[in-house]
Amino acid sequence: MTLGIDVLAAVLSRLQGILVTVSIVTMMAAMGTRMTPGDVRRTTREYNLVSRWVLANLVVVPLFAVFFSAVFGIGESILLGLLLVAVAPGAPFIPQLVALAGEDSQEAVRFTAALTVVATVTVPLLVAGALAVLDAETGFSPWRFLLPLLLVLVVPLVIGLAVRARWPAAGARVGPRLFALSNAALLAALVIVVVLDTGAMLRALAVLFGTGALLVIALFVLVTIGIGWLAGSPDPKSRRILALGTAGRNVNVALFIAVTAFPERNADASIVVFALLMFAVSVGVALYWQRNPRSGATTAGGNVPDGPP
Protein backbone atom coordinates (compact mmCIF):
# COMPACT_ATOMS: atom_id res chain seq x y z
CA MET A 1 0.00 0.00 0.00
CA THR A 2 2.80 2.39 0.97
CA LEU A 3 4.66 1.54 -2.24
CA GLY A 4 1.57 2.33 -4.29
CA ILE A 5 1.17 5.71 -2.57
CA ASP A 6 4.83 6.50 -3.17
CA VAL A 7 4.51 5.61 -6.86
CA LEU A 8 1.36 7.76 -7.17
CA ALA A 9 3.12 10.66 -5.46
CA ALA A 10 6.08 10.34 -7.85
CA VAL A 11 3.75 10.28 -10.86
CA LEU A 12 1.82 13.32 -9.64
CA SER A 13 5.05 15.18 -8.94
CA ARG A 14 6.29 14.48 -12.45
CA LEU A 15 2.90 15.45 -13.90
CA GLN A 16 2.99 18.71 -11.96
CA GLY A 17 6.30 19.65 -13.57
CA ILE A 18 4.97 18.80 -17.03
CA LEU A 19 1.79 20.84 -16.49
CA VAL A 20 3.75 23.87 -15.29
CA THR A 21 5.95 23.69 -18.37
CA VAL A 22 2.95 23.32 -20.68
CA SER A 23 1.28 26.28 -18.99
CA ILE A 24 4.31 28.53 -19.54
CA VAL A 25 4.91 27.46 -23.15
CA THR A 26 1.29 27.87 -24.25
CA MET A 27 0.93 31.17 -22.39
CA MET A 28 3.98 32.66 -24.11
CA ALA A 29 2.92 31.34 -27.53
CA ALA A 30 -0.55 32.81 -27.02
CA MET A 31 0.96 36.15 -26.03
CA GLY A 32 2.99 36.08 -29.24
CA THR A 33 -0.15 35.62 -31.32
CA ARG A 34 -1.51 38.86 -29.83
CA MET A 35 1.46 40.90 -31.04
CA THR A 36 2.63 42.16 -34.43
CA PRO A 37 6.09 43.17 -35.70
CA GLY A 38 4.87 46.75 -35.30
CA ASP A 39 4.26 46.12 -31.58
CA VAL A 40 7.79 44.79 -31.22
CA ARG A 41 9.31 47.80 -32.99
CA ARG A 42 7.23 50.22 -30.93
CA THR A 43 8.28 48.53 -27.69
CA THR A 44 11.97 48.67 -28.54
CA ARG A 45 11.67 52.40 -29.28
CA GLU A 46 10.00 53.26 -25.96
CA TYR A 47 13.20 53.11 -23.94
CA ASN A 48 11.99 55.29 -21.10
CA LEU A 49 8.83 53.30 -20.39
CA VAL A 50 10.54 49.93 -20.84
CA SER A 51 13.27 50.95 -18.42
CA ARG A 52 10.61 51.88 -15.85
CA TRP A 53 8.97 48.47 -16.20
CA VAL A 54 12.34 46.74 -15.83
CA LEU A 55 13.43 48.88 -12.88
CA ALA A 56 10.19 48.40 -10.98
CA ASN A 57 9.82 44.67 -11.64
CA LEU A 58 13.37 43.36 -11.71
CA VAL A 59 15.11 45.62 -9.21
CA VAL A 60 12.78 47.32 -6.74
CA VAL A 61 10.30 44.46 -6.15
CA PRO A 62 13.01 41.82 -5.47
CA LEU A 63 14.77 44.27 -3.11
CA PHE A 64 11.53 44.81 -1.21
CA ALA A 65 11.05 41.04 -1.00
CA VAL A 66 14.47 40.69 0.63
CA PHE A 67 13.63 43.61 2.94
CA PHE A 68 10.28 42.07 3.93
CA SER A 69 11.91 38.70 4.53
CA ALA A 70 14.59 40.19 6.77
CA VAL A 71 12.25 42.47 8.74
CA PHE A 72 9.32 40.11 9.31
CA GLY A 73 11.31 36.89 9.78
CA ILE A 74 8.91 34.60 7.86
CA GLY A 75 9.41 30.82 7.67
CA GLU A 76 11.79 29.16 5.22
CA SER A 77 9.25 27.69 2.78
CA ILE A 78 7.20 30.92 2.76
CA LEU A 79 10.40 32.94 2.37
CA LEU A 80 11.44 30.89 -0.66
CA GLY A 81 7.97 31.16 -2.22
CA LEU A 82 7.95 34.94 -1.71
CA LEU A 83 11.39 35.32 -3.28
CA LEU A 84 10.45 33.21 -6.29
CA VAL A 85 7.33 35.22 -7.09
CA ALA A 86 9.15 38.49 -6.41
CA VAL A 87 11.81 37.80 -9.03
CA ALA A 88 9.34 36.43 -11.62
CA PRO A 89 7.51 39.32 -13.35
CA GLY A 90 4.95 39.28 -16.14
CA ALA A 91 1.82 37.42 -15.00
CA PRO A 92 -0.25 36.32 -18.02
CA PHE A 93 -3.40 37.91 -16.61
CA ILE A 94 -1.93 41.44 -16.47
CA PRO A 95 -3.68 42.54 -19.71
CA GLN A 96 -7.01 41.39 -18.29
CA LEU A 97 -6.44 43.35 -15.06
CA VAL A 98 -5.48 46.43 -17.07
CA ALA A 99 -8.60 46.10 -19.24
CA LEU A 100 -10.71 45.61 -16.11
CA ALA A 101 -9.33 48.89 -14.78
CA GLY A 102 -10.36 50.64 -18.03
CA GLU A 103 -6.87 51.03 -19.49
CA ASP A 104 -5.08 49.98 -22.70
CA SER A 105 -4.66 46.20 -22.51
CA GLN A 106 -2.57 46.03 -25.70
CA GLU A 107 0.11 48.18 -24.12
CA ALA A 108 0.09 45.75 -21.19
CA VAL A 109 0.53 42.82 -23.60
CA ARG A 110 3.54 44.45 -25.25
CA PHE A 111 5.36 45.30 -22.06
CA THR A 112 4.48 42.04 -20.31
CA ALA A 113 6.04 40.17 -23.21
CA ALA A 114 9.14 42.39 -23.15
CA LEU A 115 9.48 41.96 -19.40
CA THR A 116 9.21 38.19 -19.67
CA VAL A 117 11.98 38.06 -22.27
CA VAL A 118 14.30 40.07 -20.01
CA ALA A 119 13.33 37.85 -17.08
CA THR A 120 14.70 34.83 -18.94
CA VAL A 121 18.17 35.93 -17.88
CA THR A 122 17.40 37.83 -14.70
CA VAL A 123 15.16 35.33 -12.85
CA PRO A 124 17.83 32.68 -12.09
CA LEU A 125 20.41 35.37 -11.29
CA LEU A 126 18.03 37.22 -8.96
CA VAL A 127 17.05 33.98 -7.19
CA ALA A 128 20.72 33.20 -6.56
CA GLY A 129 21.41 36.77 -5.45
CA ALA A 130 18.46 36.96 -3.05
CA LEU A 131 19.35 33.60 -1.47
CA ALA A 132 22.94 34.76 -1.04
CA VAL A 133 21.90 38.03 0.60
CA LEU A 134 19.65 36.14 3.03
CA ASP A 135 22.39 33.54 3.61
CA ALA A 136 20.05 30.69 2.64
CA GLU A 137 21.91 27.44 1.95
CA THR A 138 20.20 25.82 -1.03
CA GLY A 139 22.98 24.99 -3.48
CA PHE A 140 20.99 26.74 -6.23
CA SER A 141 22.91 27.12 -9.52
CA PRO A 142 21.44 29.84 -11.78
CA TRP A 143 23.31 28.78 -14.91
CA ARG A 144 21.45 25.50 -15.33
CA PHE A 145 18.16 27.41 -15.71
CA LEU A 146 19.19 29.89 -18.40
CA LEU A 147 18.65 27.53 -21.33
CA PRO A 148 15.41 25.95 -19.98
CA LEU A 149 13.90 29.41 -19.41
CA LEU A 150 14.96 30.50 -22.88
CA LEU A 151 13.23 27.44 -24.34
CA VAL A 152 9.97 27.82 -22.40
CA LEU A 153 9.69 31.64 -22.47
CA VAL A 154 11.37 33.17 -25.51
CA VAL A 155 11.07 30.43 -28.14
CA PRO A 156 7.25 30.02 -27.82
CA LEU A 157 6.85 33.82 -27.90
CA VAL A 158 8.84 34.04 -31.14
CA ILE A 159 6.83 31.17 -32.65
CA GLY A 160 3.58 32.92 -31.73
CA LEU A 161 4.83 36.15 -33.30
CA ALA A 162 5.81 34.29 -36.46
CA VAL A 163 2.41 32.61 -36.72
CA ARG A 164 0.64 35.95 -36.26
CA ALA A 165 2.84 37.62 -38.91
CA ARG A 166 2.56 34.79 -41.45
CA TRP A 167 -1.03 33.63 -40.85
CA PRO A 168 -2.95 36.40 -39.01
CA ALA A 169 -6.30 34.60 -39.16
CA ALA A 170 -4.82 31.38 -37.79
CA GLY A 171 -3.06 33.31 -35.04
CA ALA A 172 -6.31 34.98 -34.05
CA ARG A 173 -8.03 31.58 -33.82
CA VAL A 174 -5.31 29.69 -32.01
CA GLY A 175 -4.39 32.41 -29.48
CA PRO A 176 -7.51 32.11 -27.28
CA ARG A 177 -7.24 28.30 -27.36
CA LEU A 178 -3.63 28.48 -26.19
CA PHE A 179 -4.59 30.85 -23.38
CA ALA A 180 -7.35 28.43 -22.34
CA LEU A 181 -4.91 25.51 -22.39
CA SER A 182 -2.42 27.51 -20.32
CA ASN A 183 -5.10 28.30 -17.74
CA ALA A 184 -6.20 24.68 -17.54
CA ALA A 185 -2.63 23.39 -17.18
CA LEU A 186 -1.79 25.91 -14.46
CA LEU A 187 -5.02 25.15 -12.57
CA ALA A 188 -4.29 21.42 -12.74
CA ALA A 189 -0.75 22.01 -11.48
CA LEU A 190 -2.06 24.07 -8.55
CA VAL A 191 -4.57 21.33 -7.69
CA ILE A 192 -1.76 18.76 -7.71
CA VAL A 193 0.19 20.97 -5.28
CA VAL A 194 -2.71 20.65 -2.84
CA VAL A 195 -3.35 16.94 -3.50
CA LEU A 196 0.31 15.93 -3.48
CA ASP A 197 1.03 17.34 -0.05
CA THR A 198 -2.13 18.50 1.68
CA GLY A 199 -0.24 18.51 4.96
CA ALA A 200 2.32 21.00 3.66
CA MET A 201 -0.47 23.17 2.31
CA LEU A 202 -2.27 23.15 5.66
CA ARG A 203 0.97 23.83 7.50
CA ALA A 204 1.68 26.75 5.20
CA LEU A 205 -1.79 28.16 5.82
CA ALA A 206 -1.42 27.61 9.58
CA VAL A 207 1.90 29.45 9.59
CA LEU A 208 0.47 32.24 7.47
CA PHE A 209 -2.52 32.74 9.77
CA GLY A 210 -0.70 32.03 13.02
CA THR A 211 2.28 34.30 12.47
CA GLY A 212 0.59 37.10 10.59
CA ALA A 213 2.54 36.26 7.43
CA LEU A 214 -0.74 36.37 5.50
CA LEU A 215 -0.99 40.09 6.24
CA VAL A 216 2.67 40.50 5.31
CA ILE A 217 2.07 38.94 1.88
CA ALA A 218 -1.06 41.05 1.33
CA LEU A 219 0.94 44.13 2.31
CA PHE A 220 3.69 43.07 -0.10
CA VAL A 221 1.17 42.91 -2.97
CA LEU A 222 -0.05 46.41 -2.11
CA VAL A 223 3.54 47.65 -1.98
CA THR A 224 4.21 46.25 -5.46
CA ILE A 225 1.19 48.16 -6.73
CA GLY A 226 2.60 51.32 -5.16
CA ILE A 227 6.02 50.66 -6.70
CA GLY A 228 4.48 50.36 -10.16
CA TRP A 229 2.38 53.49 -9.64
CA LEU A 230 5.44 55.55 -8.71
CA ALA A 231 7.52 54.09 -11.54
CA GLY A 232 4.80 55.04 -14.03
CA SER A 233 5.20 58.72 -13.27
CA PRO A 234 5.38 61.28 -14.88
CA ASP A 235 3.10 59.74 -17.54
CA PRO A 236 -0.39 59.52 -15.96
CA LYS A 237 -1.56 57.11 -18.67
CA SER A 238 1.05 54.55 -17.68
CA ARG A 239 0.62 54.66 -13.91
CA ARG A 240 -2.28 52.26 -13.56
CA ILE A 241 -0.93 49.92 -16.22
CA LEU A 242 2.47 49.75 -14.57
CA ALA A 243 0.95 49.44 -11.09
CA LEU A 244 -1.11 46.38 -12.03
CA GLY A 245 1.73 45.04 -14.18
CA THR A 246 4.12 45.20 -11.24
CA ALA A 247 1.68 43.52 -8.86
CA GLY A 248 1.11 40.65 -11.31
CA ARG A 249 3.93 38.22 -10.58
CA ASN A 250 4.39 35.23 -12.89
CA VAL A 251 3.22 32.23 -10.86
CA ASN A 252 3.98 29.92 -13.80
CA VAL A 253 7.67 30.80 -13.76
CA ALA A 254 7.86 30.76 -9.96
CA LEU A 255 6.38 27.25 -9.89
CA PHE A 256 8.72 26.15 -12.68
CA ILE A 257 11.74 27.13 -10.56
CA ALA A 258 10.18 25.74 -7.37
CA VAL A 259 9.40 22.26 -8.73
CA THR A 260 12.67 21.90 -10.62
CA ALA A 261 15.18 23.51 -8.24
CA PHE A 262 13.55 23.13 -4.81
CA PRO A 263 11.28 20.06 -4.92
CA GLU A 264 11.80 19.27 -1.22
CA ARG A 265 11.27 22.79 0.14
CA ASN A 266 7.45 22.95 -0.19
CA ALA A 267 7.77 26.40 -1.73
CA ASP A 268 5.01 25.56 -4.21
CA ALA A 269 2.41 25.57 -1.41
CA SER A 270 3.43 29.11 -0.46
CA ILE A 271 3.30 30.15 -4.10
CA VAL A 272 -0.31 28.91 -4.37
CA VAL A 273 -1.32 31.00 -1.34
CA PHE A 274 0.53 34.03 -2.72
CA ALA A 275 -1.16 33.60 -6.10
CA LEU A 276 -4.62 33.68 -4.50
CA LEU A 277 -3.81 36.79 -2.48
CA MET A 278 -2.14 38.51 -5.42
CA PHE A 279 -5.12 37.89 -7.66
CA ALA A 280 -7.68 38.97 -5.04
CA VAL A 281 -5.88 42.22 -4.15
CA SER A 282 -5.08 43.09 -7.78
CA VAL A 283 -8.66 42.49 -8.94
CA GLY A 284 -9.93 44.61 -6.05
CA VAL A 285 -7.68 47.52 -7.07
CA ALA A 286 -8.61 47.12 -10.76
CA LEU A 287 -12.33 47.20 -9.93
CA TYR A 288 -11.83 50.30 -7.80
CA TRP A 289 -10.08 52.05 -10.68
CA GLN A 290 -12.80 50.91 -13.05
CA ARG A 291 -15.35 52.70 -10.90
CA ASN A 292 -13.06 55.73 -10.59
CA PRO A 293 -11.66 56.29 -14.10
CA ARG A 294 -8.87 58.78 -14.50
CA SER A 295 -9.59 61.94 -16.45
CA GLY A 296 -9.58 61.29 -20.19
CA ALA A 297 -9.47 57.49 -19.86
CA THR A 298 -11.44 55.33 -22.29
CA THR A 299 -13.41 52.30 -21.22
CA ALA A 300 -11.98 48.81 -21.55
CA GLY A 301 -14.76 47.67 -23.82
CA GLY A 302 -13.34 46.03 -26.91
CA ASN A 303 -9.85 45.99 -25.41
CA VAL A 304 -10.27 42.89 -23.29
CA PRO A 305 -7.98 40.25 -24.81
CA ASP A 306 -8.82 36.63 -25.28
CA GLY A 307 -6.76 35.40 -22.38
CA PRO A 308 -7.01 34.15 -18.82
CA PRO A 309 -10.00 35.24 -16.78
- Residue 202: the pLDDT is 61
In order of their start, the domains of the chain are 2-291 (1.20.1530.20)
Of the pLDDT bands very low, low, confident and very high (cuts 50, 70, 90), residue 107 is confident
Question: 71 or 175: whose pLDDT is higher?
Answer: 175
Task: Identify the top-confidence range among 65-74, 133-142, 176-185.
Answer: 176-185
Is residue 12 scored above 50 in pLDDT? yes
- Residue 225: the pLDDT is 92
- Comparing 128-132, 143-147, 196-200, which segment has the lowest mean pLDDT? 196-200
Of the pLDDT bands very low, low, confident and very high (cuts 50, 70, 90), residue 303 is very low
- Average pLDDT over all residues of the chain: 79
Q: Answer yes or no: pTM beyond 0.85.
A: no
Region 140-153: mean pLDDT is 81
CA distance 252 to 123: 12
296: region left, alpha or beta (phi > 0 left; psi from -120 to 50 alpha): left
Of the pLDDT bands very low, low, confident and very high (cuts 50, 70, 90), residue 160 is very high
Please say whether the beta carbons of 213 and 78 come within 8 A.
yes
Chain mean position to CA 72: 23
Task: Identify the top-confidence range among 3-7, 157-161, 275-279.
Answer: 157-161
Task: Identify the top-confidence range among 68-72, 98-102, 298-302.
Answer: 98-102
Of the pLDDT bands very low, low, confident and very high (cuts 50, 70, 90), residue 139 is low
Q: What is the pLDDT of residues 197-208, one digit of tens each?
A: 665 556 556 655
CA distance 301 to 7: 49
Please say whether the beta carbons of 43 and 50 come within 8 A.
yes
- Residue 296: the pLDDT is 59
Whole-number Cα distances in Å, 196 to 5, 184, 260, 308? 10, 18, 15, 25
